[in-house]
């Protein structure tokens, strides 16, 4: 089974070190941050399964981090670590989208029990997107290449590939420009004009169609909301059966 990844956001060095050590000894992969801004960036990394979040921190407090995180990662589990014992603070955290809380001081045993309970309720993270296809044209996400039926290959930039994979990971819904800013650029609102995203989308469409067509069959503009994949796009993750493996499976069943 794949090791689960947990982000610990805590400004007190001794507490953070103790939490990190306890989680590491329990078999988790642990990332850490000492302030709210750094914690938000770590929490938005690909492959994170759970965030342990302190409330009182420099730069951004825990509730601000939680609010920002819920915009781009609405289903990512968050466990609040706090010295605040008041009911109001606990209620604010839970209403803000936290999954649970633990009040300092806490034992490693209690913390691990709460972590395990949250992860049991949370599905395994989705498999990475490896291939996106329309007709006879496909994108190899690992190699960041558009593969045409003619054999021609067009390279995608890292940013273009990440935009496409973000859209593919959320096929069926519109992805806002603000979400792309946060998840692909790692920027908060106002740090870059959203026009930059439109320019990247235009270049990506051109590469997907190799200069022919407007790319609307690949990426559709949803007025007032953002962008989404076209209805003809087929998305495959690394656990999607290949044609050969499906054929082998079928042959086995018949035999």
Q: Which of 230, 156, 225 is nearest to 194 (CA)?
A: 225
Say which DSSP state 127 is in.
P
In this predicted structure, the answer to whether residue 133 has a pLDDT above a threshold of 60 is yes
Q: Is residue 148 domain-shared with residue 103, that is, in the same domain? A: no
Q: How confident is the model at residue 244 (pLDDT cuts 50, 70, 90)?
A: very low
Mean pLDDT of 167-193: 70
Which tens digit of pLDDT belongs to each residue from 135-156? 888 888 878 899 887 888 888 8
User: What is the residue range of 24's domain?
Assistant: 5-121
Are 194 and 202 in contact by the 8 Å Cβ rule? The answer is no
Q: Is residue 149 domain-shared with residue 95, that is, in the same domain? A: no
Q: Where are the alpha helices (DSSP H) in the chain?
A: 13-25, 36-43, 62-72, 87-95, 108-121, 158-169, 177-180, 195-208, 243-254
CATH code for the domain in which residue 133 is found: 1.10.10.10
* pLDDT for 25: 94
Q: Is residue 37 domain-shared with residue 89, that is, in the same domain? A: yes
In this predicted structure, the answer to whether residue 254 has a pLDDT above a threshold of 50 is no
* pLDDT for 29: 93
Q: Which of 64, 86, 121 is the last residue of a domain?
A: 121
CATH code for the domain in which residue 42 is found: 3.40.50.2300
Kindly state whether residue 217 falls inside one of the protein's structural domains. Answer: yes
Report the percent of the chain where pLDDT is more than 90: 22
Mean pLDDT of 153-160: 86
Number of domains in the chain: 2
Q: What is the pTM of this model?
A: 0.54
Q: Is residue 106 domain-shared with residue 211, that is, in the same domain? A: no
In this predicted structure, the answer to whether residue 161 has a pLDDT above a threshold of 70 is yes
């Amino acid at each position: 089974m794949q090791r689960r990844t947990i982000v610990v956001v805590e400004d007190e060095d001794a507490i953070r070190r103790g939490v990190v050590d306890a989680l590491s000894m329990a078999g988790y992969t642990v990332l850490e941050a000492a302030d709210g801004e750094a914690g938000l960036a770590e929490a938005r990394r690909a492959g994170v399964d759970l965030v342990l979040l302190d409330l009182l921190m420099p730069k951004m407090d825990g509730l601000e981090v939680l609010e920002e995180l819920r915009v781009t990662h609405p289903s990512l589990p968050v466990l609040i670590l706090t010295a605040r014992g008041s009911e109001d603070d606990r209620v604010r955290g839970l209403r803000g989208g936290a999954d649970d809380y633990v009040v300092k001081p806490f034992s490693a045993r209690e913390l691990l029990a709460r972590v395990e309970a949250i992860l049991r309720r949370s599905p395994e993270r989705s498999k990475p997107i490896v291939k996106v296809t329309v007709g006879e044209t496909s994108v190899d996400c690992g190699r960041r290449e558009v593969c045409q039926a003619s054999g021609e290959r067009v390279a995608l930039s890292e940013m273009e590939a990440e935009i496409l994979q973000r859209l593919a990971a959320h096929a069926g819904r519109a992805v806002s420009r603000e979400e792309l800013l946060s998840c692909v650029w790692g920027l908060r609102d106002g740090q870059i004009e959203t026009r930059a995203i439109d320019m990247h989308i235009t270049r990506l469409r051109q590469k997907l169609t190799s200069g022919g067509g407007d790319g609307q069959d690949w990426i559709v503009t949803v007025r007032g909301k953002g962008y989404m994949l076209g209805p003809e796009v087929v998305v495959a993750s690394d656990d999607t059966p290949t044609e050969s493996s499906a054929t082998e499976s079928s042959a086995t069943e018949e035999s």
